[in-house]
Amino acid sequence: MTTIRLRNSKSRKVEEFHPIDPQNVRMYVCGPTVYDRAHLGNARPVLVFDVLYRLLRHVYGEGHVTYVRNFTDVDDKINAEAQRRKAVGDPRTLEELIAERTEETIAWYHADMDALGALRPDHEPRATAFIGQMIAMIGDLIAKGHAYEKEGHVLFRVRSYQNYGALSGRSVDDMIAGARVEVAPFKEDPMDFVLWKPSSDDEPGWDSPWGRGRPGWHIECSAMSYELLGASFDIHGGGIDLQFPHHENEIAQSACAHPEAGFANYWVHNEMLQVEGKKMSKSLGNFFTVRDLLDQGVPGEVIRFVMLGTHYRKPMDWTDRKREEAEATLRKWFSLVGKSEVGRVPNGVIEALGDDLNTAGAITVMHSLRLRGEHEGLRASLEFLGFSVDRMSEWVNSSPTASPVTDEHRDIVAAHVMRRHRARLEKNFELSDTIRDQLLDAGVQLFDKKDAPATWEFLSDFDPAKLEALK
């Protein structure tokens, strides 16, 4: 049987993976908060854990892996959007507006992640469907002395859990010194975090022994993983940004509620997708969505290929050049393998993936398969990694074989972008807007940067003649 090795954040080592029960390998991954379209960074964990899911199914059998990824549908950002809609005159109730927002966001999420070729997890629980279980777990933590109620809030007593901080390798005192904690009058200790909080009339709420309120974010994952996977399971995944405090808090809650069990044995964290050295995030405003790229005519497979080109534990940037290279490679590969049989997935590919998900290594193996003319193995590898050859055959045939973009085009755009940058520095916004509009008309979209020249994308309607006319 193929050995899978994974970097376990808990031990900070690459370890051999041994499931608790090979008949039912269990994985939980923290899913999105459903208040808006997924940005490209959000797609990274989806693709990383999709590859791991495929690998586990390959090794242990399709019916022997259970993958759970939740939807966080209780969140102040969702409430804020619903309240905004109400404020601009929407006559519906807040509950209806919240439900609408989460429903539409989940539908977008599915459409976007399907387009990237990600398999749907076996369970996609919504937090709002597990409120009763969260209330029960919180009650249990209070009974065991790990949590307390104050002023309608229930807080987790961090000092009651000895191993707090073990995952991220911090002591409680370091964390307080880091001052990432909120001091509040209802807390015994500034480190304590919220399990339950009261809701005002214009916030969603559920009845509980502590009054009408709603759960904190961390308890959601502890309750849902327990309900769907049990007190001990194999892999817990998510982005490295969630390691502290979210995962640390999940561990504290679950370990205290079920002290006899181990919670997650392997913690796997993906690094961040970045933009100019900073994490892509909604709050920094340096993001674009998966849908933006798909709408520009970038196939989901190309996005997937670019993502898998970097090891999941390395930060990565999305660049136009990577996209072009991925497109060229896939075009070549799909045109070669289109008519071949699907062979066996070559060992080299599986071995690379088994080596802490070395997707870039698997791609290197695929390049060599193509050089040796082993098209059946290449096709099998593509399908295995989630690239649908059938779906792509249309793309390969319909689009031009070579990108119409040349180095000269890039130079022309760069010159206009610099001219526009100077105009902006001189506050000549009229000229700056004209240049932007002319480029867009030629099918080149600019992305403004705060203190630097804009970056750009060639859109699918790029018109070389129009661009050349701007020279």
Closest CA to 109 of 339, 290, 316: 290
CB of 44 to ligand AMP, least distance (A): 4
**Smaller CB separation from ligand AMP, 274 or 393:** 274
Angle between helices 375-384 and 347-354 (to 10 degrees): 30
Q: Which of 78, 280, 412, 417 binds ligand AMP (CB under 6 A)?
A: 280
Closer Cβ to ligand AMP, 39 or 409, answer by number? 39
381 binds, among ligand AMP, Zn ion, none (CB under 5 to 8 A by kind): none
Q: What is the greatest pairwise CA distance in the chain? A: 75
Q: Cβ of residue 460: shortest distance to ligand AMP, in angstroms?
A: 25
Q: 38-57: which residues touch ligand AMP (CB under 6 A)?
A: 41-42, 44-45
CA distances to 181, 190, 198, 207, 223 from 154, in Å = 16, 14, 9, 14, 15
32's contact among Zn ion, ligand AMP, none, with CB below 5 to 8 A by partner kind, is ligand AMP
Which range binds ligand AMP by CB under 6 A, 106-114, 150-158, 233-241, 415-423?
233-241
Closer residue to ligand AMP, CB minimum distance, 74 or 467: 74
Give the angle subtended at the CA of 187 by the CAs of 183 and 192, to the nearest 5°: 85
C-alpha to C-alpha distance for 253 and 270, rounded to whole angstroms:
23
Instruction: Name the residue nearer to Zn ion (CB basis): 30 or 444.
Output: 30
Q: Is 33 a binder of ligand AMP (CB under 6 A)?
A: yes
Number of helices (H), then strands (E), belonging to the chain: the values are 17, 15
Residue with tokens 């970045």: 274
Instruction: State how far the Cα of 14 lies from the Cα of 6, in Å rounded to an integer.
Output: 5
Tokens of 57: 């199914």
The residues with which 456 forms a beta bridge, in sequence order, are 446
Distance, in Å, from the CA atom of 130 to the CA atom of 71, rounded to the nearest integer, reads 11
Structure-token match 């969630």, residue found: 242
**Contact at 8 Å (CB) between 234 and 264?**
yes
* Interacting span for ligand AMP (CB under 6 A) from 237-245, 373-381, 403-411, 450-458: 237-245
Question: Which 211-250 residues touch Zn ion, going by CB under 5 A?
Answer: 221
- The answer to whether 32 contacts ligand AMP (rule: CB under 6 A) is yes
- Scanning 238-246, 297-305, 324-332, 409-417 for contacts with ligand AMP by CB under 6 A, the matching segment is 238-246
Distance CA 171, CA 187 (A): 19
Q: How far apart are CA 52 and CA 362, in angstroms?
A: 13
CB of 293 to ligand AMP, least distance (A): 15
In the complex, the smallest distance separating the C-beta of residue 122 from Zn ion, rounded to whole angstroms, is 17
Per-position b or e across 436-468, b if 16+ CB within 10 A of its CB: bebbeebbbbbeeeeeebbebbbbeebebeebe
- The reply to whether 241 sits near ligand AMP by the rule CB under 6 A is yes
Q: What is the side-by-side order of every strand in the sheet holding 278-279? A: 278-279, 273-275, 316-317
User: Which CB sits closer to ligand AMP, 69 or 331?
Assistant: 69
Number of residues that bind Zn ion (CB under 5 A): 2
Which of 279, 323, 416, 420 binds ligand AMP (CB under 6 A)? It is 279
Choice between 72 and 381, CB closer to ligand AMP: 72
Residue 30 or 365 having the CB closest to Zn ion: 30
Among 252, 272, 363, 413, binds ligand AMP (CB under 6 A): 272
> How near is the Cβ of 413 to Zn ion at its closest, in Å?
42
Burial of 250 (0-12, 13-18, 19+ CB in 10 A): buried
Please pick, from the candidates 155, 273, 293, 345, the single residue that binds ligand AMP as defined by CB under 6 A: 273
Residues 6+ apart with CB under 8 A from 162: none
Q: Using CB under 6 A, which of the segments 27-35, 134-142, 147-155, 442-450 binds ligand AMP? A: 27-35
List contacts with ligand AMP (CB under 6 A): 30, 32-33, 41-42, 44-45, 238-239, 241-242, 270, 272-273, 279-281
